[in-house]
């Protein structure tokens, strides 16, 4: 494992144009919810588990994953692996989001609005996990429709992916924004 890291560092040193501006933070993960499913068989019930996991570096990168297995630790491990594959970058302005945005998934709609410094993350547990691991410290949210943890997490990620910072909008439109 250390050899692979060493090789990656030497490749980055050889190509200064591809070197990241800042050091990458280690990924942190949390389990949002564990789902238990029971299958009735001749000898009784067989349980299987599913885990909804959020992974992020608290600096603008976040991903969600869903893993299923016959045991909880295996389901969580699969969920983390899935979340690491599906990482998304989130533009931040200081400790909040650049503008108001609405994320949708299924019957869930979540409205996220930027907040002044010191406000904190005003959100339910599912949306809070995604926002905190994305690196958002000050935001106001309101969820409409389904309150299912899966839908809220996916709607929150949808909203974060829709965000655009000022520089991106200027480049897309070809004009300067005041």
Q: With respect to CATH, is domain 90-169 assigned 3.30.230.10? A: yes
pLDDT per residue over 61-119, tens digit each?
A: 999 999 999 999 999 999 999 999 999 999 999 999 999 999 999 999 999 999 999 99
Which are the contacts of 17, defined by CB distance < 8 A and separation ≥ 6? none
pLDDT by residue (tens digit) across 2-30? Answer: 444 444 444 444 444 443 444 567 899 99
Query: Where exactly are the structural domains of the chain?
Result: 2-87, 90-169
Q: Is 90-169 in the same CATH topology as 2-87?
A: no
CATH topology of domain 2-87: Double Stranded RNA Binding Domain (3.30.160)
Alpha helices in the chain (DSSP H): 2-14, 72-85, 125-134, 149-162, 166-173
Please classify residue 9 by burial: count the beta carbons closer than 10 Å to its beta carbon, then call 0-12 exposed, 13-18 middle and 19+ buried. Answer: exposed
């Amino acid at each position: 494992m250390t050899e692979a890291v060493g090789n990656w560092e030497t490749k980055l040193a050889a190509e200064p144009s591809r070197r990241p501006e800042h050091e990458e933070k280690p990924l942190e993960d949390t389990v949002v919810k564990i789902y238990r499913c029971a299958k009735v068989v001749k000898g009784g019930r067989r349980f299987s588990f599913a885990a909804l996991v959020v992974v992020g570096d608290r600096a603008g990168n976040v991903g969600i994953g869903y893993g299923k297995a016959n045991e909880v630790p295996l389901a969580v491990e699969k969920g983390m692996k899935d979340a690491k594959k599906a990482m998304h970058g989130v533009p931040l302005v200081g400790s909040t989001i650049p503008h108001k945005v609405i994320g949708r998934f299924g019957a869930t709609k979540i409205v996220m609005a930027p907040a002044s410094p010191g406000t904190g993350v005003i959100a339910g547990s599912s949306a809070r996990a995604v926002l905190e691991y994305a690196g958002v410290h000050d935001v106001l949210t309101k969820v409409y429709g389904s309150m299912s943890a899966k839908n809220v997490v996916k709607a929150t990620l949808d909203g974060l992916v829709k965000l655009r910072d000022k520089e991106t909008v200027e480049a897309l439109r070809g004009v300067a924004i005041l």
